[in-house]
Amino acid sequence: MVESLTEYERKRHFEQTPEPRGDGRRKPRKGEQALQFCIQKHDASHLHYDFRLELDGTLKSWAVPKGPSLDPADERLAIHVEDHPLDYASFEGHIPEGHYGGGDVIVWDRGTWEPEGEPHEAYAKGRLKFRLQGEKLAGTWNLVKTRMAGKKEQWFLIKSHDEQARAREDYDILEDQPGSVLSDRALVPKPHGKAAAKVKANANANAKAGQEAGVEAKPIGKKPAKARAKRGTALEGARQAPLPAAFKPQLATLVDSAPPGDWRYEIKFDGYRILARIEQGKAKLFTRNGHDWTARMPQQAKALEALGLEQAWLDGEVVVANEQGVPDFQALQNAFETERSGEIVYYLFDVLYLNGMDLTGVPLEQRRAALAEIVGHAPSQWLRYSDDFAEDAEHLLGTACQMHMEGLIGKRAGSLYHSTRNADWIKLKCQHRQEFVVVGYTEPKGSRSDFGALLLGLHDPDSGGLRYAGKVGTGFSEQTLKTILAQLQPLQVPKRPPLANAPSGAQLRGVHWLKPQLLAEVAYAEMTREGAVRHAVFHGLRDDKPAEAINEEKPAQVQARQATTGKKNVKHAAAEDLPSNVRITHPDRIIDKTTGATKLDLARYYTQVAQWILPQLADRPVALVRAPEGIEGELFFQKNAEHLHIPGIKGLDKAFSNQPVMIVDTPQALIGAVQMGTVEFHTWNATGQNGRHPDRFVLDLDPDPALPWKAMAEATELVLAALGELGLKSFLKTSGGKGMHIVVPLRPKDDWDQVKDFAHALVSHMAKLMPDRFSDKSGPKNRVGKIFIDYLRNGEGATTACAYGARAREGLPVSVPVAPEEVAGLKTAARWNIHTLGERLAELSGDDPWAGYGKVRQGITQAMRQRLGIKAR
């Protein structure tokens, strides 16, 4: 009855395709894990959805041409195909053309399935009824075999009538949720049939035109050649890829002075950042937050379409010049408000994707050379190429300031394009200028009309709350006063919003308080010690950023460093930024074969995050997970410093604990541990100040691996709510694996047994309250289809993976603090790794999810114990 994987293996050449090998059929897991399902969106000879159910150690598979429907009236054809290996459930990527199933694959949904009745008998009879618990699909479904003739069995996939059912005319889940549940990939289907022939003809014509313009590529249907920016100049690092559905822009870091090295400088425009997406010759314009502004700039969209590109992503800024020819943000605002888009000029400065090729891995100069050729051959009053300069930055900045420009943008020569904020792009400003949250306004005085001044606020990175930042009363025209007042009045509130350092006394006369939603772009001479702006000038309102993200923008100190624009540079870079008394031996030793990460890569990672991880390690006993031969070799869990020659390592005497312990809380000790093969750092729940009384407890949410991430997000929210009801503040971090860690800080007054008993009682309470979701018993057989809340790591000597510490797993993921509202969007607890966490930290801009942790003063009370049924000792 059960097919083997012979047919799957016969159809594939695994040395040429990234698909997982079959390696024979796995044995059933005897109830140690829930049965998994997945649905893969597959753009092969035609776009379809592959529906797969785990049974007997393989994935039973059906190709569903139209995809699943939530409408019970839709009987979706499902063609039975060969069994696939269980590893296929997480496969995403590109199957090369010419191979079986050639095309792009993403995991559209995944989760667990539960058969109604005996599944083998139902499968044999051709009538499977089952419940799904996925990221997107839920409820009861049916697979019914038909009697229709064909080379392969033809079934129907049908949704049952239940709470999850929706009429197709009301909601199309395929259209509403098109992307992957495992990654940020969004599959953009390629055209087929007559549409494909039309695109092919257009692309070949564009390729010919592109060759004449200097951007060369072979016509479709032939072996692709290297893309070229100019004749004889290859776009090194370009790769074939489908057109992305969305793109996040690279952002610049504010610095206090020009850094040394090879940089290219452009004018910093006083406008809106806009990305252009061109598909089949049609252009759309998006803000940095992904809002579609095409309708607001129709002439610019038409000018982009006149470039003759089939597919592209372009990056730039839209501006309006004043009478002196200088970009003026307020003039841009006026142009949008009065629908005079013809005054807007779109300055283009980067090309990220071009006619089937992803260019984000191409060095800066080559990307810009390609863009210059594209824009230069299609002059337009609405499009411009943003020139760069290789001159001295200080001279350029002085000239820009004399011309009343905002400043300069510097881009490191040879750098690649990353959709984040990093040190490869910098900004130098002529004056202090940034966004502020508008928290109120004053009544006008004298001849002034409408309002007097705007009251400003900024978010405090430590508390997350708003603080008063002064006011701005100049820079308004009569027209802008009226326009802005109309936007202020609907936001009025009767009481002052929570605002630290708020004005008092006479300063409050005539103040109208507002919901903190509007943003004002303000230039100012300086900021006082109290945090208020002086000599402020209003430049315009903004709506392209969230108010919650606005805090004081402080320039970073410039430090000379070697450019790390590609993986080779990182891997083989010198270790000059490591602690001077630590030498990394065998720096090229591979730690993780899946990414090629080396011992030096790991040392550089821990050096870069030292300011983040060392506070987590400070004065806290630690255990090390060492992988001397890489993570595929034998791992050693070491709790004391015996035989480890690590500079700066400390030990604690028996007054702390009966167990020998070590502390690694200096840069030398941290990197010295990496030199000795350490990958992971696990910390105690107590510090060296008081080893008998823990200062925190940790709950580790450990899921059945088959559960969808949605189940983990919901479980995290429920546990946080339970802690909140008890009156306990908690903090979240990813485990770097499958689950989440919830950390609850405490005053160190209770002993180990008291804290562990409390954690155990809380977990038992959750398991009794929601037995279908949670388990309070360890072991795979006790968490089938559930999440085990591990409280066991709260005993004396037990440890938890440290925040910002790497994990000895494929890809070297990292345990990362997150805010509760981030959890649902993560998709995995291994979201960041040692190669990508830097982007996350740069994006935080001081907004630490664990800000305020050290200020929490709380303990376990008798009332809390009574609520959980813990008897007094």
Q: Where are the alpha helices (DSSP H) in 458-518?
A: 478-488
| Residues sharing a CB contact under 8 Å with residue 175, sequence separation 6 or more, in sequence order | none
Report yes or no: 720 and 699 within 8 Å, Cβ to Cβ: no
Encoding tokens for residue 807?
């994990």
Secondary structure of residue 553 in the 3-state scheme: coil
Q: Is 268 a catalytic residue?
A: yes
Report yes or no: 559 and 423 within 8 Å, Cβ to Cβ: no
Report yes or no: 723 and 793 within 8 Å, Cβ to Cβ: no
Residues 548 and 733: their CA atoms lie apart, in Å, by 21
Neighbour tally for 781: CB within 10 Å: 13
Map tokens 């060369």 to a residue: 216
Q: Length of the chain in residues, anyone?
A: 873
End-to-end CA distance of the chain: 60
Q: Where are the alpha helices (DSSP H) in 254-363?
A: 298-305, 329-337
Map tokens 């069994």 to a residue: 83
Encoding tokens for residue 134?
């996925």
| Residues sharing a CB contact under 8 Å with residue 753, sequence separation 6 or more, in sequence order | none
- Kindly name the residue from 268, 471, 738, 827 that is annotated as catalytic: 268
Report yes or no: 631 and 622 within 8 Å, Cβ to Cβ: no
Encoding tokens for residue 435?
């966004």
Report yes or no: 227 and 369 within 8 Å, Cβ to Cβ: no
Report yes or no: 485 and 449 within 8 Å, Cβ to Cβ: no
Instruction: Name the E strands within 728-812.
Output: 731-734, 740-745, 774-775, 787-790, 800-801
b/e per residue 651-688 (b: at least 16 CB within 10 A): ebeeebbeeebbbbbbbbbbbbbbbbbbbbbbbbbbbb
Residues 119 and 54: their CA atoms lie apart, in Å, by 11
Q: Give the distance, in angstroms, between the CA of residue 185 and the centroid of all CA atoms in the same chain.
A: 12
Positions marked active-site? 268
